[in-house]
A and B are shown apart, each in its own frame.
Chain A
């Protein structure tokens, strides 16, 4: 491990605060990013010799700002009449900066930086790409790789998103309490999107896309550090940690998805689970439930079960019931039905999902789940046609492979006896 690897980690961790502060000074994203970049170059030269500064973010903000101001000066010298007044103004601003580095702004700086990525005019994929570029500091190449698109395509996506944000104007005034809370939840949703982008990867791409999950967790922890007492942010962070804890067990050697029930639980990351459970405990004390907390509580019940048969499905059913009230969605009902099938059997579960079939008629998981219920009921012909629909709707090769496994099982069950399935 080289010194630069450690400096990289320090630069990465300082980035949101430093770029956020530079954005507040320059009120222009490109200028702020360039200033940060220049400061990083100096850090790479300076830190190995002099050792890292005690507060890397403050160092980078100060240096980034000075370099940018030097450039303004140089630019002005090339003009026929240098404006001395303007230059002395900048000096004053520098003095003020030193006092402001005490961190009183930094919560809103980071929140603003995250929030401009959530511009409602930007499609989700552009929001995520922008956040990964400007907040996380991933290179366009890294982001392109995680999204499985070409580098020029991603470059274009990021450029477009930036132009859109610049057009919209960045909200610089310090937000009021209500506005701050709105920003917070827009940002939380965006972080969850980043996570899902990585989590929904198939087996053959899971490793590359896992970066997105890790980055989302880093951002969620950062957000929670800024808003220590917000139970939904505790819930969000816990949810991401608990889901990501299963990463090593979610795909088999061939890249096929492994169902929760079939996963090797010894491969679950206990350190992440411990942190997730601790956060859920903290959140519950507030008695202010919310969708992230409920989903995290469900994930926690899975995490607590050492064997699949120890899972508290009755409690999971109740939690999904609460989520249905809070955030009604056919997908939530579908998930609840899986819990219901364990508690009250496949017939009750099948009845539960009947009313949502129309709305989920293009949804892979609906037909996968429906097929599984039918298979449990021994209605094999109907199960087969549901699985066929699922395969046609599969988004990834892993999803298709998983359904094919069910179809093979149906075939195996019917063949040896030489009878038709579903008799």
Chain B
């Protein structure tokens, strides 16, 4: 069974870490990841850019683009895509296509700061 582990934290606090504190956390995380990678059990890992860089597409007709992260609590996180785009407009076009195929709810489009594809053998 594949599991996704979604990371939540207070963005203000993480943003207040000094670069040394940030680097120390990343090093400790890396040690855990390396162990998993050696066993061939680590899938993609991503660190997202801050929510200030996020844009949300409400999948209504016509779709509505809003600045900022997805902020409602009525809906739940059901899945995610990682796509390679030149810019935000391209990413929004893809989100619109997906939204047309599956209306209702919303997509939050968030640039990825750090991405490692992982080595899952499945």
The smallest C-beta distance from A19 to any residue of chain B, in angstroms, reads 14
Which of A7-15, A113-121, A346-354 faces chain B? A7-15
Q: Is B50 an interface residue (CB 8 A)?
A: yes
Out of A13, A218, A275, A285, which one reaches B10, CB within 8 Å? Answer: A13
Chain A CB within 8 A of B63 CB: no
Contact stretch, chosen from A196-204, A223-231, A322-330, A387-395: A223-231
- Is the Cβ of B21 less than 8 Å from the Cβ of A5? yes
Hey, which chain A residues are within 8 Å of B52, CB to CB?
A: 221, 224-225, 228, 234, 237, 279
B117 to chain A, nearest CB (A): 17
Q: Judge whether B111 is part of the interface by a CB distance below 8 angstroms.
A: yes
A236 to B45, CA, bound (A): 30
Q: Is there contact, CB below 8 Å, between B16 and A228? A: no
B32-40, B64-72, B98-106 - interface stretch: B64-72
Chain B residues contacting A332 (CB-CB under 8 Å) are: none
Residue of B13, B18, B55, B89 ringed by the most chain A CB atoms within 10 A:
B13
* Measured CA separation A271–B50 after assembly (Å): 11
Residue from A10, A56, A274, A282 within 8 A of B67 (CB atoms)? A282
A281 at interface, CB cutoff 8 A: yes
- Assess the A10–B13 pair: CB atoms within 8 A: yes
If A12-B16, A221-B15 touch, whether A281 touches B49 (CB-CB below 8 Å) is no
C-alpha gap A12/B49 in the complex (Å): 21
Contact A13 B68 (CB under 8 A): no
B10 / chain A contacts, CB cutoff of 8 Å = 10, 13, 56
The interface bits of chain A over 71-93 (1 if a CB of B lies within 8 angstroms of the residue's CB, else 0) are 00000000000000000000000
CA distance A224 to B68 in the complex (A): 9
Please list the residues of chain B having a beta carbon within 8 angstroms of any beta carbon in chain A.
Answer: 10-13, 15-18, 21, 24, 49-53, 55, 65-68, 87-89, 111, 113-114
